[in-house]
């Protein structure tokens, strides 16, 4: 257990913590603040967590303070994602939850309440200043699934039920309070900003390189699948943009989490410490307005494996759709009018490849054990230097390359390729 120490923060963070303390009833001049590291190796890639203790006499409040990394390049890359997460916690999520509260659902009716409490959030882009202060879910015995292992059915089922309720809120609001949903359309995919700010097409080259690496997981004689992927290789970014185009998803676009992989969810368990009974969705930095299927296929292609999908893929889609239908009904909506099964199937065909496209970037990280993860600052610096110079240096592609990680990656990625083609998504 790290030792808590008194600390000083940059002024903009100190101001936020002072506001939290004041709103939570601490007395100016009588409380003090201590901190310790708030995350483990491999927990996050765009931000750093500090565990903060606000103490006065025999009272203590423990919060997590999420801030930008110290590395200057990573600050520049991450600031817009922090801005998105701040907006999610301050504007969008409260709007959805207030709509749900106003429905005055019966106590026995399940609700979407699967987000951590946010005490404070503020981002000033031009100053590269941002902080998000939230509850520490670990104090309620929430924990992450080990990203190295494919998620089992019970954990996947809980997420599908939760996403169904989350998406139902958008569908119901768009139907019943359209004037309040005007801001939804401004919630465009944050990654599209990254592409727009990439005049050298560095990201396109990186995606092409990652796709080539994925192709290499296939057997040489598997010419059919290799040719399918070769046709995709040089237009991965264009395909990502097409999948996240909210206009193309209308009239079925909703507010989604956007980054549904195992490191961005935490589970609470039954007394057996094995069966999950509650889930919280964390890290809303890629939340967006777009097709509902994006959250589903992102999770399924990155957090389950080929064997699991062979027997449970359709089951997960049904669990999601039934949850969506039930919560929509509770909110006064009708799924057959707002998101009929035919539209759901059509969107899976149109946007289902998104899950695989994201796996090109995410699976190498997932397949790398935490104790083998490279230094993030050095890795990002090398990657961006290579891409900016137009080189193919492998320094930036170090995730998933150790012996153990490479074996995992080959199995998981080749399975993802077989499935995305089998489902007819590419």
pLDDT at 103 over 70: yes
Residue for token pair 């970037």: 361
Q: Which residue has the higher pLDDT, 390 or 300?
A: 300
Distance, in Å, from the CA atom of 156 to the CA atom of 296, rounded to the nearest integer, reads 10
Give me the pLDDT at residue 370, please: 79
Q: How far is CA 406 from the centre of its chain?
A: 24
Token pair for residue 284? Answer: 């809303």
Helices 202-215 and 353-366: crossing angle in degrees, nearest 10, is 80
Give me the pLDDT at residue 379, please: 60
Three-state DSSP state, 60: strand
- Give whichever of 186-200, 251-265, 369-383 has the largest mean pLDDT: 251-265
Q: Give the contacts of 19 (CB within 8 A, at least 6 positions apart).
A: 120
pLDDT at 397 over 90: no
Three-state DSSP state, 378: helix
pLDDT tier for residue 5 given thresholds of 50, 70 and 90: very low
Q: Between β-strands 59-67 and 48-56, what pairing exists: parallel, antiparallel or unpaired? A: antiparallel
Computed over every residue of the chain, the mean pLDDT equals 90
Give me the pLDDT at residue 46, please: 64
For the ranges 70-84, 208-222, 292-306, 402-416, which has the lowest average pLDDT?
70-84
The total of other beta-carbon atoms located within 10 Å of residue 395's CB is 14
Give me the pLDDT at residue 130, please: 94
Read off the pLDDT of each residue in 402-410 and give the average, rounded to a whole number. 89
Q: How far is CA 194 from the centre of its chain?
A: 16
pLDDT tier for residue 73 given thresholds of 50, 70 and 90: confident
Q: Give the contacts of 92 (CB within 8 A, at least 6 positions apart).
A: 183, 184, 187, 255, 287
Token pair for residue 128? Answer: 């590269």
Burial of 243 (C-beta count, 10 Å sphere; 0-12/13-18/19+)? buried
**Quick one: which of 260, 289, 425, 221 has its CA closest to 358?**
260
Token pair for residue 140? Answer: 């309620």
pLDDT at 400 over 70: no
Contact between 358 and 425 under an 8 Å Cβ cutoff? The reply is no
Burial of 293 (C-beta count, 10 Å sphere; 0-12/13-18/19+)? buried
Give me the pLDDT at residue 191, please: 82
Distances (CA, A) of 133 to 13, 47, 63, 281, 358: 9, 13, 7, 15, 28
**Quick one: which of 196, 197, 52, 76 has its CA closest to 129?**
76
For the chain, percent of residues with pLDDT exceeding 90: 77
pTM: 0.92
pLDDT at 71 over 90: no
What phi, psi does 403 have (nearest 5°)?
-55, -50
Distances (CA, A) of 122 to 39, 85, 293: 21, 9, 30
pLDDT at 402 over 80: no
Distances (CA, A) of 121 to 28, 100, 134: 21, 22, 9
pLDDT tier for residue 2 given thresholds of 50, 70 and 90: very low
Give me the pLDDT at residue 47, please: 76
| Digit-coded pLDDT (tens) for 136-150 | 999 999 999 999 899
Read off the pLDDT of each residue in 233-248 and give the average, rounded to a whole number. 95
Percentages of the chain per state (helix, strand, coil), in multiples of 5: 55, 15, 30
Read off the pLDDT of each residue in 341-345 and give the average, rounded to a whole number. 98
pLDDT at 37 over 90: no
Read off the pLDDT of each residue in 77-101 and give the average, rounded to a whole number. 94
**Quick one: which of 300, 314, 316 has its CA closest to 354?**
300
Read off the pLDDT of each residue in 300-310 and give the average, rounded to a whole number. 98
For the chain, percent of residues with pLDDT exceeding 70: 89
For the ranges 41-55, 99-113, 223-237, which has the lowest average pLDDT?
41-55
Give me the pLDDT at residue 393, please: 46
Distance, in Å, from the CA atom of 371 to the CA atom of 374, rounded to the nearest integer, reads 9
Burial of 75 (C-beta count, 10 Å sphere; 0-12/13-18/19+)? middle
Query: What single-letter DSSP state applies at residue 143?
Result: B
Contact between 385 and 204 under an 8 Å Cβ cutoff? The reply is no
């Amino acid at each position: 257990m790290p030792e808590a120490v008194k600390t000083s923060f940059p002024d903009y963070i100190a101001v936020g913590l002072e506001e939290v303390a004041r709103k939570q009833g601490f007395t100016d001049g009588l409380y003090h603040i201590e901190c310790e590291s708030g995350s483990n190796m491999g927990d996050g890639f765009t931000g750093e967590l500090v565990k903060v203790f606000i103490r006065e006499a025999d009272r203590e409040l423990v919060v997590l303070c999420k801030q930008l990394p110290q590395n200057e390049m990573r600050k520049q890359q991450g600031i817009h994602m922090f801005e998105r997460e701040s907006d999610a916690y301050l504007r969008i999520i409260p709007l959805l939850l207030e709509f749900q509260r106003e429905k005055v659902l019966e106590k026995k009716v399940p609700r979407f309440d699967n987000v951590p409490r946010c005490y404070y959030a503020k981002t000033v882009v031009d100053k590269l200043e941002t902080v998000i202060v939230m509850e520490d879910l670990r104090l309620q015995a929430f924990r992450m699934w080990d990203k190295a292992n494919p998620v089992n059915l019970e954990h996947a089922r809980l997420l599908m039920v939760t996403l169904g309720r989350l998406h139902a809120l958008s569908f119901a609001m768009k139907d019943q309070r359209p004037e309040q949903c005007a801001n939804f359309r401004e919630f465009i995919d944050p990654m599209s900003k990254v592409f727009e700010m990439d005049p050298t097409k560095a990201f396109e080259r990186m995606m092409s390189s990652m796709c080539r690496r994925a192709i290499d997981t296939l057997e040489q004689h598997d010419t059919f699948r290799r040719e399918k992927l070769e046709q995709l290789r040089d237009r991965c970014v264009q395909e990502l943009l097409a999948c996240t185009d909210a206009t193309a998803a209308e009239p079925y676009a909703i507010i989604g989490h956007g980054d549904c992989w195992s490191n961005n969810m935490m589970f609470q368990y039954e007394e057996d410490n094995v069966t999950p009974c509650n889930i919280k969705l964390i890290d809303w930095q890629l939340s967006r307005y777009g097709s509902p299927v994006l959250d589903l296929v992102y999770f399924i292609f990155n957090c389950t494996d080929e064997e699991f999908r062979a027997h449970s893929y359709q089951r997960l889609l049904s669990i999601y759709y039934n949850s969506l239908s039930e919560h929509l009904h509770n909110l006064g909506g009708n799924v057959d009018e707002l998101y009929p099964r035919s539209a759901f199937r059509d969107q899976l065909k149109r946007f289902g490849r998104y899950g695989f496209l994201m796996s090109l970037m995410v699976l190498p990280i997932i397949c790398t054990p935490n104790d083998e993860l490279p230094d993030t600052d050095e890795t990002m610096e090398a990657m961006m230097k290579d891409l900016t110079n137009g080189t193919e240096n492998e320094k930036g592609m170090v995730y998933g390359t150790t012996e153990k990680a490479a074996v995992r990656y080959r199995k998981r990625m080749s399975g993802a390729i077989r499935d995305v083609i089998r489902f007819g998504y590419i």
